[in-house]
């Protein structure tokens, strides 16, 4: 389980972020101030830090400096201001990314995933039920032959491999595809995409082994070699 160090003084934002991250399978360690965050470094290991720039007793830049002295992990800044000076300062300090409040939940999760993959803390290659997925190159192969997926089919597959131990509801998949497409995706359209994806990646689409249906709820990832 990947560990996210969240440094955020706003209790409501911190609570909602923690709920979101835990629902994605992350463990969350929270600090509400610069002092609290720094005091936790020596005894706390994590895979990525989400750091608010504006803190009641200092700023996220100082926290980032402390992180860099103790752990080699990606840092993403959270900021209420998109002014160029703050962004440049954060990136020059070695932050992997920044995101401006208010932000979209799916966008934040996607940026975290990218940062983890770049740092080598998240696997880029998956082998599931005879299917080979290389997320670094975006190539999907079955039986050694490349499988050509549309952008939304590929996005759908990424949602499943990114949540190997979770039941994924249809509502969540609709939100994922909506964000990816930038337009409304209906429930019927989702059914069509799942069907098309199964036709391309399953040995027997009528009896799927990779994308399994959970009646009345949604779907989950199957396969013999589920990524951990």
Side-chain half-sphere exposure of 106, counting CA atoms within 13 A = 14
User: For 3-118, which CATH superfamily applies?
Assistant: Response regulator (3.40.50.2300)
Point out the least confidently predicted range of 4-13, 46-55, 60-69, 210-219. 60-69
Instruction: For residue 162, give the nearest of 17, 26, 6 by alpha carbon.
Output: 26
* CATH 3.40.50.2300 intervals, the chain: 3-118
Position 83 confidence tier, pLDDT thresholds 50, 70, 90: low
Q: What is the DSSP code string of 52-116?
A: ESEETTEEHHHHHHHHHHH----EEEEES---HHHHHHHHHTT-SEEEESS--HHHHHHHHHHHH
| Terminal C-alpha separation, the chain | 8
Point out the least confidently predicted range of 10-14, 69-73, 147-151, 222-226. 222-226
- For residue range 173-212, list pLDDT tens digits in order: 887 776 555 556 788 888 999 999 999 999 999 999 999 9
Position 226 confidence tier, pLDDT thresholds 50, 70, 90: very low
Task: Label the pairing between strands 131-134 and 125-128.
Answer: antiparallel
- What CATH number does the domain located at 125-221 have? 1.10.10.10
> Is this prediction's pTM over 0.85?
no
- For residue range 45-64, list pLDDT tens digits in order: 888 999 998 899 988 888 88
Side-chain half-sphere exposure of 14, counting CA atoms within 13 A = 16
Q: What SS3 state is found at 164?
A: coil
Residue 212: its pLDDT value, please? 93
């Amino acid at each position: 389980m990947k560990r996210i160090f969240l440094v955020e003084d706003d209790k409501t934002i911190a609570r909602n972020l923690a709920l979101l991250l835990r629902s994605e399978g992350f463990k969350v360690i929270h600090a509400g101030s610069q002092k609290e965050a720094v005091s936790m470094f020596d005894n706390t290991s994590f895979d990525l830090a989400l750091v608010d720039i504006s803190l009641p007793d200092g700023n996220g830049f100082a926290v980032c400096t402390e992180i860099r002295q103790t752990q080699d992990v990606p840092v993403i800044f959270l900021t209420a201001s998109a002014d160029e000076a703050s962004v440049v300062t954060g990136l020059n300090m070695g932050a992997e990314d920044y995101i401006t409040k208010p932000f979209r939940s799916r966008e934040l999760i996607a940026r975290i995933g990218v940062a983890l993959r770049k740092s080598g803390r998240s696997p880029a290659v998956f082998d599931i039920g005879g299917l080979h997925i290389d997320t670094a190159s975006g190539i999907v192969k079955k039986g050694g032959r490349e499988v050509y997926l549309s952008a939304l089919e590929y996005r759908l597959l990424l949602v499943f491999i990114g949540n190997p131990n979770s039941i994924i509801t249809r509502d969540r998949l609709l939100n994922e595809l909506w964000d990816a497409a930038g337009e409304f995706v209906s429930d019927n359209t989702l059914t069509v995409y799942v069907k098309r994806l199964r036709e391309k990646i399953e040995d027997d689409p009528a009896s799927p082994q990779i994308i399994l249906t959970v009646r009345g709820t949604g779907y989950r990832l199957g396969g013999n070699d589920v990524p951990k």
